[in-house]
Amino acid sequence: MARNLMSDEEWAFFERFILAVRAPNGRKPTNHRLVLDGIFWIARTGAPWRDLPEEFGKWSSVYRQFRRWTLAGLWEDIMETLNQSGAV
């Protein structure tokens, strides 16, 4: 079982951003919630990507999705929304 998983309420907030940047490519959808939990695990621990616990999936797949979301501006969109909401 993955550690420090996000709540359903937290996932509901992030899911809309992820769906907005998702590009249909014919592949089976990734478990984006688990990938996001893995990215947050890396952010919390400061560990190298290769040390990501297997429970989050292959580290290289999680990193690749992190990179795609970075290039798509996902993190900036999330931060802008949080800043505007006054939640941060």
Number of C-alpha atoms within 13 angstroms, CB side, residue 80? 6
Alpha-carbon radius of gyration of the chain = 13
Residue 19: pLDDT band by 50, 70, 90 thresholds?
confident
- The mean pLDDT value of the chain amounts to 87
pLDDT at 1 over 60: no
Which whole number is the average pLDDT over 73-85? 90
